[in-house]
Amino acid sequence: MALLWRSQFSVGNDLIDSDHQYLLEIINRAEVCLKSVDTVALTSVLNELANYGKSHFEREELVAKAVGYPKADLLHESHTRLVEQLTKFREGMESNRTKINADEVTSFLRDWLIQHVIKEDMLMKPWLTKHSPRFDPRQ
Q: Which residues bind Fe ion (CB under 5 A)?
A: 60, 121
d(CA 139, CA 136) in angstroms, rounded, equals 6
Q: Kindly tell me which of 31 and 53 has the beta carbon lying closer to Fe ion.
A: 53
Q: Kindly tell me which of 59 and 90 has the beta carbon lying closer to Fe ion.
A: 59
Q: How far is the CB of 53 from Fe ion (least distance, A)?
A: 9
Q: Kindly tell me which of 16 and 30 has the beta carbon lying closer to Fe ion.
A: 16
Burial 71-105 (b: 16+ CB within 10 A, else e): ebeebbebbeebeeebeebbeebeeeeeeeeeeeb
Q: How far is the CB of 60 from Fe ion (least distance, A)?
A: 5
CB of 128 closer than 8 Å to CB of 135: yes
Q: How far is the CB of 124 from Fe ion (least distance, A)?
A: 9
SS3 (DSSP) at 66: helix
Q: How far is the CB of 74 from Fe ion (least distance, A)?
A: 13
CB of 86 closer than 8 Å to CB of 53: yes
Q: Kindly tell me which of 31 and 121 has the beta carbon lying closer to Fe ion.
A: 121
